[in-house]
Amino acid sequence: MFSLERIFDDLTDTVTEGVNRLLDREIRIGVTGFSRGGKTAFLTSLVNAVCNFDRQDSAARLPRFAEYEREGIFYGGVVANHDLSVPAFPYQECYDALVGVSPHWPVPTEGLSEIRLEVKFADRRLLVPGAHRSLYIDLWDYPGEWLLDLMLLDLSYEQFSALMRTQVQKLLKLIPAGETLLALGAALKPDKSPHPRELRQAVESYVSWLRECKARGLTMVVPGRFVLPGNLQGAPLLEFVPWLGQKVSRAPQGSLYQTLQQRYEAYRREVVERFYRECFSALDRQVVLIDCFQALRGGEEVFHNVNETLQALLKNFSYGDNNLLTRIFSPRIDKVIFAATKADQVTFAEQPHLLSLLQSLVSPAARQVAAAGIKCEYLVLAAIAATRCFELEYQGRLTQVLSTGREGEKWYNPGEFPAQWSLEAMEHFQRFFLHKELPPPPLGDGDPIPAQNLDIMLSYMLRDKLA
C-alpha cells in the first residue's frame, strides 16, 4: 500500500512538472533611456520587488499590481542568465550600495547588461492541487544612445555627414567648439592617404564635441559608442568622423575619404547591426525611461534636439519598411512603456502634471509606434523614492511637501511642475522649480526599496503574461 502511494506521488510530480514546463512562459523586456536617466535604479528596484514576492506584505505594498493576488504569485527570484556572453546586471552590488555603511546611489554602469527573473504563480487551469507555472522575465538594460545608433542603418556615409554638418552648424551658438571641428574638417584632404595624427585629432575633437552636446542635455549624440564605447574603448572601429568639409563626389582607393567611409560602414556592420541582431530584435517589450527634469533644464536648442532625437529613436520600434534589417529580423515588440523617472522630486499633487508633460513630450514621436499596432503606455515612476510626500497646514492652507526623512532636514515644497512640453514651460521650470540633489533613502539591510508606482509598472509589463 505504502509503496503504491509513493508511486502515485512520483507520477503526479512528474506529470505536474511536465505540464508546468509546457506552460512556462518567457518575456524579454528591454530597458532603455539616456545615461543617468534612471535605468540602473529602476532595475535595482524592480529586481528587489520581485525578489520580495514571497513576503507577506507584497500585496499591500503593490496594491495596483492586482495580478499579484489574482494570479496567486507566491515567489520571485533571480535565475541564471540566458546569454552567458552578456554581462550580468549587478543587482547585489546596486542593492548593497543603498544599504551599506555609507549609502550611495548605485555606481553608474555603461553598456549592455542582462538579468533574468523567475516569477512563480498558481496554475488554476489544472485540477492538480498546488500546481504552478513560472514566468521568466529577461531584462536587458541598454543605453538609449545605442538605440539611437539604429538610425545610422538608414544613412549612407554622405547622409550621416550631412546630418552632422547641419547639427554642428545649428549648435554653434551653444557649442562654440564646433568652429574648431569645422576648421579641422575643412583642412582634411579627402583624396590624400590618411594621416594618423590628423585623423586622431579630428576624432578627438569630434568626440569632445559630442561629449559637450551630452553635457548640455542634447540627446542627438551619434555614433553612440563614441561617448559610451562599452567594450569597444580604443577600437579602430571608432576611428572615423563625419565628413564636415566640402562635399566629395569621388575619392580614390586608399584615400582618407574612402577610409572614413569604410570605417563608417564597418561601424554600422560590426556595431549597429550586431546590436540589432543580437539584442534589439529579440525583445518583446520596451520600457523607455525619460528624465523629464533633465529635459526641462536645457534651452531652445535642447528642446528641438530632444524632439528630433525622440522621433529618430521611436522610429526604431515601429517595424515595417524603414530599413533592410527590419525586413530580415522583424522585431516583435508589442508594447512600449514610457515612464517619467525620479517622480519623487515632485509632490503627489504635481505628479499628474509630470504625466501630462511626458505624454506631450513623447506622443508626437510615438504616433508612428501606435500606428504600427504597438501599444503605448505612460506612467510616472520613482524607482527608488528618495522623498516622502505629506500634507501639512501652511499659512492656513493644506499644502503637500516633500521630506527626505533624514534627521535635521527640513521639509520643502519644490513648486509646480509644468503640464506641457513647451519652451515656456522650460523657462518657467528653470526659474521657479526647486531642484535638489537628493541622497538615496535611508534603508536597512534587507528592507524593501521604497518606490512609487512600481506596482503600475509591474502590471503594465506583466499582466497579460500572467493570465
Question: Site residues (CB under 5 A) for Mg ion?
Answer: 39-40, 109
Task: Decide if residue 347 touches ligand GDP (CB under 6 A).
Answer: no
Least distance CB 86 / ligand GDP (angstroms): 16
Indicate the residue among 168 and 355 with the shorter CB distance to ligand GDP.
355
Site for ligand GDP (CB under 6 A): which residue of 27, 40, 160, 174? 40
Site for ligand GDP (CB under 6 A): which residue of 67, 145, 149, 344? 344
- Assign residue 283 a region: left if phi > 0, alpha if psi is -120 to 50, beta otherwise? beta
Residue with cell 546630418: 163
Task: Decide if residue 25 touches ligand GDP (CB under 6 A).
Answer: no
188 binds, among ligand GDP, Mg ion, none (CB under 5 to 8 A by kind): none
Closest by CA to 155, choosing from 268, 263, 317, 245, is 268
Indicate the residue among 90 and 414 with the shorter CB distance to Mg ion.
90
Residue with cell 548605485: 106
Task: Decide if residue 382 touches ligand GDP (CB under 6 A).
Answer: yes
Total residues in contact with ligand GDP, by rule CB under 6 A: 20
Task: Decide if residue 443 touches ligand GDP (CB under 6 A).
Answer: no
Task: Decide if residue 39 touches ligand GDP (CB under 6 A).
Answer: yes
Please state the three-class secondary structure of the chain as a single string: CHHHHHHHHHHHHHHHHHHHHHHCEEEEEEEECCCCCCHHHHHHHHHHHHHCCCCCCHHHHCCCCCHHHHCCEEEEEEECCCCCCCCECCHHHHHHHHHCCCCCCCCCCCCCEEEEEEEEEECCCCCCCCCEEEEEEEEEECCHHHHHHHHHHHCCHHHHHHHHHHHHHHCCCCCCCHHHHHHHHHHCCCCCCCCHHHHHHHHHHHHHHHHHHHHCCCCCCCCHHHCCCHHHCCCHHHCCCCCCCCCCCCCCCCCHHHHHHHHHHHHHHHHHHHHHHHCHHHCCEEEEEECHHHHHCCCHHHHHHHHHHHHHHHHCCCCCCCCHHHHHCCCCCCEEEEEECCHHHCCHHHHHHHHHHHHHHHHHHHHHHHHCCCEEEEEECECCCCCEEEEEEECCEEEEEEECCCCCCCCECCCCCCCCCCHHHHHHHHHHCCCCCCCCCCCCCCCCCCCECHHHHHHHHHHHHHC
444 binds, among ligand GDP, Mg ion, none (CB under 5 to 8 A by kind): none
Task: Decide if residue 383 touches ligand GDP (CB under 6 A).
Answer: yes
Indicate the residue among 39 and 133 with the shorter CB distance to Mg ion.
39
**What phi and psi, each to the nearest 5 degrees, are found at residue 287?**
-110, 125
382 binds, among ligand GDP, Mg ion, none (CB under 5 to 8 A by kind): ligand GDP
Indicate the residue among 144 and 242 with the shorter CB distance to Mg ion.
144
Indicate the residue among 202 and 361 with the shorter CB distance to ligand GDP.
361
Task: Decide if residue 147 touches ligand GDP (CB under 6 A).
Answer: no
Task: Decide if residue 455 touches ligand GDP (CB under 6 A).
Answer: no
**Interatomic CA distance for residues 453 and 457, integer angstroms:** 6
Indicate the residue among 290 and 325 with the shorter CB distance to ligand GDP.
290
Site for ligand GDP (CB under 6 A): which residue of 27, 29, 41, 86? 41
194 binds, among Mg ion, ligand GDP, none (CB under 5 to 8 A by kind): none
Task: Decide if residue 241 touches ligand GDP (CB under 6 A).
Answer: no
Task: Decide if residue 348 touches ligand GDP (CB under 6 A).
Answer: no
Least distance CB 292 / ligand GDP (angstroms): 12
Q: Cell numbers of 311, please?
A: 522621433
Task: Decide if residue 178 touches ligand GDP (CB under 6 A).
Answer: no
CA angle 229, 231, 233 (to 5 degrees): 55
Least distance CB 344 / ligand GDP (angstroms): 5
Closest by CA to 406, choosing from 42, 103, 107, 106, is 103
341 binds, among ligand GDP, Mg ion, none (CB under 5 to 8 A by kind): ligand GDP
Indicate the residue among 111 and 364 with the shorter CB distance to ligand GDP.
111
Site for ligand GDP (CB under 6 A): which residue of 35, 167, 305, 351? 35
Task: Decide if residue 342 touches ligand GDP (CB under 6 A).
Answer: yes
Which one of 191-199, 300-308, 380-388, 427-435 is the stretch in contact with ligand GDP (CB under 6 A)? Answer: 380-388
Task: Decide if residue 386 touches ligand GDP (CB under 6 A).
Answer: yes
383 binds, among ligand GDP, Mg ion, none (CB under 5 to 8 A by kind): ligand GDP
349 binds, among ligand GDP, Mg ion, none (CB under 5 to 8 A by kind): none
Which one of 38-46, 161-169, 206-214, 310-318 is the stretch in contact with ligand GDP (CB under 6 A)? Answer: 38-46
**Interatomic CA distance for residues 321 and 249, integer angstroms:** 28
Task: Decide if residue 120 touches ligand GDP (CB under 6 A).
Answer: no
Least distance CB 382 / ligand GDP (angstroms): 4
Bridge-based pairing state of the strands 397-403 and 388-394: antiparallel
Positions touching ligand GDP (CB under 6 A) are: 33, 35-41, 105-106, 108, 341-342, 344-345, 382-384, 386, 438
